[in-house]
Amino acid sequence: MNTARFSESVTGTIVDGVLIVTIENPPVSALSFHVRAGLMAALGRAASDEVSAVVLTAIGRTFIGGADIKEFGKPAIEPTLPDVIKAIESFAKPVVAAVGGAALGGGCEIALACHCRIASKAASFGLPEVKLGIVPGAGGTQRLPRLIGTVAAIDLIGTGRVVTSDEALTLGLIDAIADDLAEGALDAARHLVDQPLRRTGALSVPHSQAEADAAAAKKVLSRSRGQIAPAEAVRLVRAASMARLEDGLADERATFLRLRDSHEAAALRHVFFAERQASKVDRLEGVTPRKVESVGIVGTGLMGAGIAVSALNAGYRVIGIEQTDEAAARGHDRIAGLLDKSVQSGRLTDHARSEALSRFEAASDAGRLAQADLVIEAVFDDLTVKTELFRKLDRVVRPDAILATNTSYLNPNEIASATARPERIVGLHFFSPANIMRLTEVVDCAATAPDVLASAIAFVRKLGKLPVVCGVTEGFIGNRIYSAYRREAEFMVEDGAAPDEVDAALEAWGFPMGIFAVNDMAGLEIAWARRKRQSATRDPEARYVEIADRLCEAGRFGRKTGRGWYDYSDGERRSDPQVTALIEAVRAAKGIVPRRFSADEIVARLLAAMANEGKALLAEGIAARASDIDLVMINGYGFPAHKGGPMFHAGDI
């Protein structure tokens, strides 16, 4: 049984007349030139009489992670992926895909072109191209609907959703799931020898109701917030039932190439690589994270409960600590309630909910934290309260445990200095609701030890969240930029723009919600309290807009009070003449003659404010990379991902 090498990344072995073609191109078996060329050479070998069928497989956790994104933007080198796929589909002998991991993008398209797809239980399938601002470019939009119908194909391709092998089997995307993949695929290949082959491209798209297609398309488009790729993907899938395969493929390829060079795709590629860069920290090279199995959470209010649910869902044992037994019982109920909601929304099974809750205990005895590897404080954001608590924790937690403070604005160095072990303190700034929001700022405090920082990053990743490391500054990365953004928006309002004009400009540009609507949703009173605290130290020469203070003095704290920057008394967000009058009074008192602002000017000024504050954060060493800042604004503050983030945008224009 000799192994033949077809290229640097593709080898083959003949077993029982079946050529097993193996791709090995770490880390994700992307379809780089050597893989494409190797596959073509393998098919050449398979044409010989010695071979009766082919099994295509890959080494590693992925089957094939898709086209090599790093090759985008470089001149195409033949064979192209469509060439390879055409050669597979039209091959005279059976070609079976043996999928043991993620088959994504071009990887899924290769599987679709094979004559049979056998998967392991751990495999997954998806065409996530829209998440990169492109459409599938090697037949995905034309072959997937032929296999699973238009409605399901619109859902998968339009959203980029990845499905398990179980769902893939139900959809008809694969032929079977095998316990022993190699054996299962070999069997399938032997069975297909001399049989008529089912070529996906030759199938007709199963008939579907026009209304069902339209509903699926509407669902995708309603979520795509002005992005081009999902709309194009839907168009191509719908065309698959009307056009000949070759015409559909030509349209798809042209659309793929056009979108690949678009601004939207460049922005989303930037985000893709930024996410993978984010947890790489220079000073942590070679540092091994500590083992964390048991997590203590002090404070099981809204934030603490959200963090607890995330930790439970990630498999940790969690102890929630409150001051009294009654409060602990309420914390338990809150956490059980959040888990129930996940069951109702289909994100969790009943079984998983019970299993998660069985790993949770609530107590009023802080001594129970002695068993925790990591303790996260999530109590009221007040320096005295937090330093007092950390003094107490210092006495009860193990010397090697990690202590994390979840603060939005306080200085974690001051909190750390209340303990005898500042090197074991790190900041974890979760965003609310913490069981849903992906972003977590990991605050590298003055004395944080490398293993503590590495463990905090690993913990956040295990929660399925996106850790972004930052240094200590008021508001860390996100809230500092947000403050600059809000300040600029308020300057424009004082100078003549209406809050709803500012919000409309932002929403038309791609933000899900304008800044004043966001403020109303979050509540205006916390920022007001902060401004009052800071008033003694504020630079009297610096411009200060009092409108938000006046709103709070009038009891307008945002949505929860039915009034804030807007009026919500009938459930809808509406501009309020009282707010307009209040703004006019503030302008008049300062002698400001209002002027008009165009939507372009509003957006340009707000983006510039964000980027300038971002530059300051980089200069101060608070953020390590511009791309980290982009991730924070995209994942914590609604900055549209397809615009790449404020720093990408600023560098780009």
Residues contributing to the site for ligand 3HC (CB under 6 A): 27-28, 30, 61-62, 65-70, 81, 102, 104-106, 109, 128-129, 132, 136-138, 140, 273, 276
Calpha distance 535→556 (Å, rounded): 20
Q: How far is the CB of 9 from ligand 3HC (least distance, A)?
A: 13
Q: Which is nearer to ligand 3HC, 108 or 552 (CB)?
A: 108
Smallest separation (angstroms) from ligand 3HC to the CB of 443: 23
Catalytic residue among 29, 124, 408, 627: 408
**Degrees to nearest 5, angle at CA 544 with 539 and 550:** 130
CA distances from 298 to 238, 270, 329 (A): 52, 37, 14
99/138 with CB nearer ligand 3HC? 138
Bridge partners (DSSP) listed for residue 317: 294
CB distance 605 to 565 below 8 Å: no
Q: How far is the CB of 427 from ligand 3HC (least distance, A)?
A: 25
CB within 8 Å of 623: residues ≥ 6 apart:
470, 471, 477, 614, 617, 629
In the annotation, is 441 catalytic?
yes
Output the smallest distance, CB 61 to ligand 3HC, in A: 6
Residue 231 CB, nearest distance to ligand 3HC (Å)? 17
Specify whether 270 is catalytic. no
Residues 6+ apart with CB under 8 A from 581: none
194 vs 94: CA distance, rounded Å: 8
Query: Least distance from C-beta 47 to ligand 3HC, angstroms?
Result: 25
| 125 versus 476: smaller Cβ distance to ligand 3HC | 125
Q: Which of the residues 115, 429, 642, 649 is marked catalytic?
A: 429
Asked if 106 and 138 touch (Cβ cutoff 8 Å), the reply is: yes
Helix, strand, coil % (nearest 5) of the chain? 55, 15, 35
Tokens matching residue 22? 């193996």
- Judged by beta carbon, residue 66 or residue 149, the one nearer ligand 3HC is 66
Q: How many CA atoms lie within 13 A of 79 on its CB side?
A: 20
Question: What are the phi and psi torsion angles at 396 (to 5°)?
Answer: -105, -30
Q: Compare residues 30 and 37 and give the one whose CB is closer to ligand 3HC.
A: 30
Q: Which CB atom, from 468 or from 489, has the smaller least distance to ligand 3HC?
A: 468
HEC string of 512-573 equals CCCHHHHHHHHCCHHHHHHHHHHHHHCCCCCCCCCHHHHHHHCCCCEHHHCECCCECCCCCC
Give the gyration radius of the chain's Cα atoms. 28
> Any catalytic annotation for residue 642?
no
Look at residues 445, 132, 402, 455 and name the one whose alpha carbon lies nearest to residue 279: 455
Write the DSSP string, 569-638: TTSS-B--HHHHHHHHHHHHHHT-------HHHHHHHHHHHHHHHHHHHHHTTSBS-HHHHHHHHHHHH-
Q: Which is nearer to ligand 3HC, 106 or 475 (CB)?
A: 106
Residue 647 near residue 630, CB atoms below 8 Å:
yes
Query: Which one of the listed residues 479, 519, 627, 635 is annotated catalytic?
Result: 479
DSSP one-letter code for 67: B
Smallest gap from Cβ 523 to ligand 3HC, in A, equals: 36
Nearer to ligand 3HC, 137 or 299 (CB): 137
- Minimum CB–partner distance for residue 454 and ligand 3HC (Å): 17
Smallest gap from Cβ 35 to ligand 3HC, in A, equals 11
Q: Is 429 a catalytic residue?
A: yes
Among residues 441, 490, 507, 613, which one is catalytic?
A: 441
**What would the 3-class secondary structure string for 627-648 be?**
HHHHHHHHHHHCCCHHHCCHHH
Q: Return the number of the residue (59 or 554) whose C-beta is nearest ligand 3HC.
A: 59
Where does residue 223 rank: exposed (0-12), middle (13-18), buried (19+ CB within 10 A)?
Answer: exposed
Nearer to ligand 3HC, 84 or 376 (CB): 84
Between strands 162-164 and 124-126, the pairing is antiparallel
Rounded-to-integer distance, Cα 108 and Cα 136, Å: 10
Minimal distance in Å, beta carbon 313 to ligand 3HC?
18
| Residue 364: closest CA among 313, 330, 317 | 330
CB of 628 within 8 A of CB of 442? no
What residues act catalytically? 408, 429, 441, 479
